[in-house]
A and B are shown apart, each in its own frame.
Chain A
Amino acid sequence: MASQEISKSMYTVTSAPLWHCGKTLQKTMLHTLLALLPAAAMAVYRFGYDAVEVMAWAGLAAVITEAAVQKLMDQAPTSDDFSALVDGLLFAFLLPATAPWWMVIVGAALTIILGRMVFGGYGGSPVCAPAVGWAVLSISWPDFMDLNGMLLNWDLVEPLSELKYFGTAAIADIKPVSLLLGENLGALGASQGLMILIGGLYLLGRGQLRWFIPVSFLVGVFLTALLYNLIDPQLYASPVFHLLSGSTLMAAFFLMPYSSSSPVWRVPMLIYGLLGGALMIIIRTYGVYPDGAPFAVLLLNLCTPLIDLIQPKPFGGR
C-alpha cells in the first residue's frame, strides 16, 4: 500500500519555465568588471597613482550615490549587483588621469543621478549613464576635462587634438601600434586601445555582449572615415587612425551597447551602430570637441526609440 504511506510534505510550486539560463545581472556586471580590468591595469601603468585615485573616487562615489538616492526613493538597495560600480568605472575611464578629486565625485554622482536614478534606476535610462556624466563635466569644467592641458606632466601628445588643431601632418608619425598600446595622451582608460579591445572581445566570447552594435559601430566609423579620407587624404585622417584613437573602441564595446539605451531588435541594432559610427566621425570632423565619441553615443541614444520602431512582423502575422 505504498500510495497510502505518502508523506504529507508539500513541494514548491512555480509557474513554468522551471529552468533558467543562469545569467544574472550580477554575473554580467562581474564579467564587465573583469573585462575592464586590463584597461584599468594599463592605465595605472601609464599614469601611475593618479589613475588609481580617479578610478577609486569615481567607483566609490557612484556606489554611495546610488545607495543614498535609493534610500531617498524608498527603493531596495541594489549595490550588490555592481552595476553602479561598473558605471562609475566606465565614467572614470573617460576622464583625464589627473582630474581633481572633487570633480570626479561630482561627475560620478551626476552619472548615477542624471544617468540612472531620475529614470527609476538601472535599466530605465534612455541615455548611457557614463556618457551623461562625461558630457556634464565637459561642458561645466572644460579646462579640467581638456586632456592636453591636464596631462602636461607627460611629454606626449593627444592624437585627436593634434588632428583638430594642426591637421593630418601632425599625426603622420603616430603609428597604429602606439595608439593600440596607449603610448599617447588620452582619457584614463579609453585610450588603452588594445586592453579595451581585449575586454570587449572577452565579453563577446562569454556571450555577455552581442556583436551587432560593436561591429556595426566600428564599420560605421571605418566607412565614414574612409569616405572623408578618399575625398581628401591631406585634410582628413585615415580610417584606421579614427578606429584606434580617442574613445572609439570604448564607445564600441561599452558605451554604445549600454543595455537600456540601445535598440533591442537585430536590424535596428545594426542601424544604430552604423549611424553612431558615422555621427562620431562627423562630430570629430566639424565639432568643437576633439573626441566626439560620448556625444555621438548620447545623440544616438535619443534616436533609439525611433530606430526600434523598425520591427519584424510577429509570428504568423499577415
Chain B
Amino acid sequence: MMKTSLKTSVELKGTLQDAPVPALVRIPIQKNQKPVVKKKQIVGRGQVVAETKCISAFCTGYVHATIDGMVEDILPNAIVVGPLPAPKEGEDPQMPVRPEPCAELDSLSGEDLCRKLLELGIDTNKFHPSRTLIINGLNPEPGVVVSEQLLKDAQKTLEVGVRILERAVKPGTVKIVVAEGKNITLYGCTTVHASDVYPATIDPLVVLTATGVERPDNVDIISVSDLYRVGRVGETKLPLLDAVVGVGESVYRVLTGTPVQDLLNVAGVPYGADWKIALDGPMRGEAICDLTVGIPENCTAITLVPADQFPEVQPNPCINCGECVLACPARVQPGMLSRYAEFTLFEATRSRHVDACMECGMCTFVCPVNRPVMQFLKLAKQHLAAQDEFTASCRLQS
C-alpha cells in the first residue's frame, strides 16, 4: 500500500498502456483559452475547439477535440464533447472532419516551429531560445512514476522531442537529470545524477544540481512529460491528444479530457467514498470533488489517499518546534511566515522572503501540530501579488 517514504525513484513493474477511448470527454480549458466551437457542433478528432489569443510563439497551446463527437456543453473550465448523434432516417450520418498530418513540421525551425507547436497544443511558455535546457528526468513526486516510465518505454518519442526542440529553441546544452544509481541516457543529452528524495525532484532544486547555481537566469527546465508531449506531436504530426497518467503502479496513455472515473475503472484500483482523490502527486496535487472531471493534458498521476491515513490539517497554533525550518529547501522560516499570514501581516512575509518559497509542501508535511503552513504561505503570496497588481494599475492611471 502507500507509504510515506519521500523516495521517488522506483523499480518499474509495468509498461506504458493505452487506456480505452471514452464515450464522452471533458476537455479542460484555461482562462486564456477561448472556445471557438458552438454547442451541438460536430467536431472531429484533432479539431481545434479553443484558441489562445496571442500572437507570440510562446504561450499556452490550442485545445483540440480528442474524440469524434458533438459539443454537448461549453463550461468556463471545460468543453464537453459527447458521442455523435445517431443519424436521422434517410439521412447520411454526419462525418466529422479530422485534420491532416502537418507535414511542414519537418521543415520549420525557430519561432515558426514554436508557433506551429503551440497551434498543435503544446504549451510553449517554458521555452526560450538559446538557453541551457534541462530535462527533469526524476519522478516528480513520491508515488508518481511517469517520468521514469516514459524514459523506459518511450525513448523513441523522447528522441523526436529533443530533435524538435533542438530546431525550435536551439538550446546551448541539453542535460537530463536522473536518479542516482539509474543508468538512463537520452539522445543528445548529458546525463546528470541527482537525489531522488522529494523535494530534491522539484524544478528549482534540479536546476541547482544540474548547474550549481540557484535560480539562474539563462536556464529552461522541462519535465520528461513536457518533452514527451513535444515528441508525440512530432511523431504523429497531429495535434496533441493524450496525457500520460499514473494510477497506482500502472501508467496509462489517456485521451485528454477522459473523466477520472473512466480511468479509475480501467485501472481497477480500490477507493472509497471518503477517500481523497487528486490530480497529480500527493505533495502538490489538486484534490477533486467529483470524478467526472476531465484529465488535463499535463496531469501526471491520479493520487488516491485513504481516509484517516494521515492526521487532518487543523488550525492549531504554531509551537515553534522548527521542523519546517529544517525541512524547507528555500531556507525560509515557514512557521513564522505562516503566523504573519494568519494575522494578515502580509508585508512582513515579503520582507522575510516568502517569495523564495517553492510550494513543495514539506512544511505542512512535517508539521507536528498539523498546521496548514504552506496554505498560509500561498495565501500570503496571493495577497502580495494582488496588492502589487493593484499598485501597478494605480500608477498607470496617474
Q: Is B277 a contact partner of A11 (Cβ separation < 8 A)?
A: yes
Instruction: Name A208's closest neighbour in chain B (CB-CB).
Output: B368
Residues of A within 8 A of B129 (CB): none
10 A-B residue pairs with CB within 8 Å: A3-B24, A3-B262, A6-B292, A11-B273, A11-B277, A14-B287, A16-B283, A16-B287, A315-B330, A316-B356
Q: Is B313 a contact partner of A14 (Cβ separation < 8 A)?
A: yes
A121 contacts chain B at the CB level, 8 A cutoff: yes
Q: Is B204 a contact partner of A316 (Cβ separation < 8 A)?
A: yes
A2 contacts chain B at the CB level, 8 A cutoff: yes
Q: Which of B8-16, B92-100, B226-234, B303-311 contacts A (4 or more CB under 8 A)?
A: B303-311
Instruction: Name B142's closest neighbour in chain A (CB-CB).
Output: A19
Instruction: Name A264's closest neighbour in chain B (CB-CB).
Output: B322
List the 10 closest A-B pairs by CB distance, nearest first: A123-B319, A264-B322, A316-B215, A17-B361, A314-B356, A314-B353, A20-B310, A259-B321, A260-B320, A13-B287
In the bound assembly, the distance between CA atoms of A260 and B318 in angstroms comes to: 9
B290 contacts chain A at the CB level, 8 A cutoff: yes
Q: Which of B47-55, B112-120, B165-173, B370-378 contacts A (4 or more CB under 8 A)?
A: B370-378
Main secondary structure of the interface of A (DSSP, over half): loop
B186 contacts chain A at the CB level, 8 A cutoff: no
**A-B CB contacts (within 8 Å), total count:** 171
Instruction: Name A14's closest neighbour in chain B (CB-CB).
Output: B287
In the bound assembly, the distance between CA atoms of A251 and B18 in angstroms comes to: 61
B187 contacts chain A at the CB level, 8 A cutoff: no
Q: Is B282 a contact partner of A19 (Cβ separation < 8 A)?
A: yes
Residues of B within 8 A of A12 (CB): 274-276, 287, 289, 307
Q: Is B317 a contact partner of A6 (Cβ separation < 8 A)?
A: no
Q: Is A317 a contact partner of B369 (Cβ separation < 8 A)?
A: no
Residues of B within 8 A of A124 (CB): 317, 319-320
Main secondary structure of the interface of B (DSSP, over half): loop
Q: Is A18 a contact partner of B285 (Cβ separation < 8 A)?
A: yes
Count residues of A near B (Cβ-Cβ below 8 Å): 47
Q: Is A315 a contact partner of B204 (Cβ separation < 8 A)?
A: yes
B366 contacts chain A at the CB level, 8 A cutoff: yes
Residues of A within 8 A of B288 (CB): 11, 13
Q: Is A20 a contact partner of B319 (Cβ separation < 8 A)?
A: no
Q: Is A23 a contact partner of B366 (Cβ separation < 8 A)?
A: yes
- One digit per residue, 1 when the CB lies within 8 angstroms of any chain B CB and 0 when it does not, for chain A 24-42 equals 1101100000000000000
Instruction: Name A13's closest neighbour in chain B (CB-CB).
Output: B287
A21 contacts chain B at the CB level, 8 A cutoff: yes
B331 contacts chain A at the CB level, 8 A cutoff: yes
Within 8 A of A (CB), among B9-50: 22-24
In the bound assembly, the distance between CA atoms of A121 and B290 in angstroms comes to: 40
Q: Is A123 a contact partner of B317 (Cβ separation < 8 A)?
A: yes
A263 contacts chain B at the CB level, 8 A cutoff: yes
In the bound assembly, the distance between CA atoms of A9 and B365 in angstroms comes to: 28
Residue of A4, A13, A23, A316 with highest tally of chain B CB at under 10 A = A316
In the bound assembly, the distance between CA atoms of A10 and B287 in angstroms comes to: 11
B269 contacts chain A at the CB level, 8 A cutoff: no
Residues of A within 8 A of B330 (CB): 314-315
Within 8 A of A (CB), among B323-342: 323, 325-326, 329-333, 335
Q: Is B287 a contact partner of A21 (Cβ separation < 8 A)?
A: no
Q: Is B311 a contact partner of A18 (Cβ separation < 8 A)?
A: no
Q: Is A123 a contact partner of B214 (Cβ separation < 8 A)?
A: no
Instruction: Name A262's closest neighbour in chain B (CB-CB).
Output: B322
A154 contacts chain B at the CB level, 8 A cutoff: no
Q: Is A15 a contact partner of B365 (Cβ separation < 8 A)?
A: no
Cβ 8 A contact of B284, one of A17, A210, A265? A17
Residue of A6, A17, A260, A263 with highest tally of chain B CB at under 10 A = A17
Q: Is A21 a contact partner of B322 (Cβ separation < 8 A)?
A: no
Cβ 8 A contact of A23, one of B285, B325, B368? B368
Instruction: Name A29's closest neighbour in chain B (CB-CB).
Output: B368
In the bound assembly, the distance between CA atoms of A123 and B361 in angstroms comes to: 22
Residues of B within 8 A of A210 (CB): 326
Cβ 8 A contact of A315, one of B214, B310, B372? B214
In the bound assembly, the distance between CA atoms of A236 and B378 in angstroms comes to: 56
Residues of B within 8 A of A20 (CB): 4, 310-311, 313, 364-365, 367, 370
Q: Is B24 a contact partner of A11 (Cβ separation < 8 A)?
A: no
Instruction: Name B320's closest neighbour in chain A (CB-CB).
Output: A260
Within 8 A of B (CB), among A242-261: 259-261
In the bound assembly, the distance between CA atoms of A12 and B278 in angstroms comes to: 10
Q: Is A16 a contact partner of B286 (Cβ separation < 8 A)?
A: yes
Residue of A3, A15, A260 with highest tally of chain B CB at under 10 A = A3
Instruction: Name A81's closest neighbour in chain B (CB-CB).
Output: B369
Residues of B within 8 A of A13 (CB): 276, 287-289
B259 contacts chain A at the CB level, 8 A cutoff: yes
CB distance from A265 to the nearest CB of B (A): 6
Q: Is A4 a contact partner of B282 (Cβ separation < 8 A)?
A: no
Cβ 8 A contact of B282, one of A18, A28, A311? A18
B358 contacts chain A at the CB level, 8 A cutoff: yes
In the bound assembly, the distance between CA atoms of A6 and B22 in angstroms comes to: 13
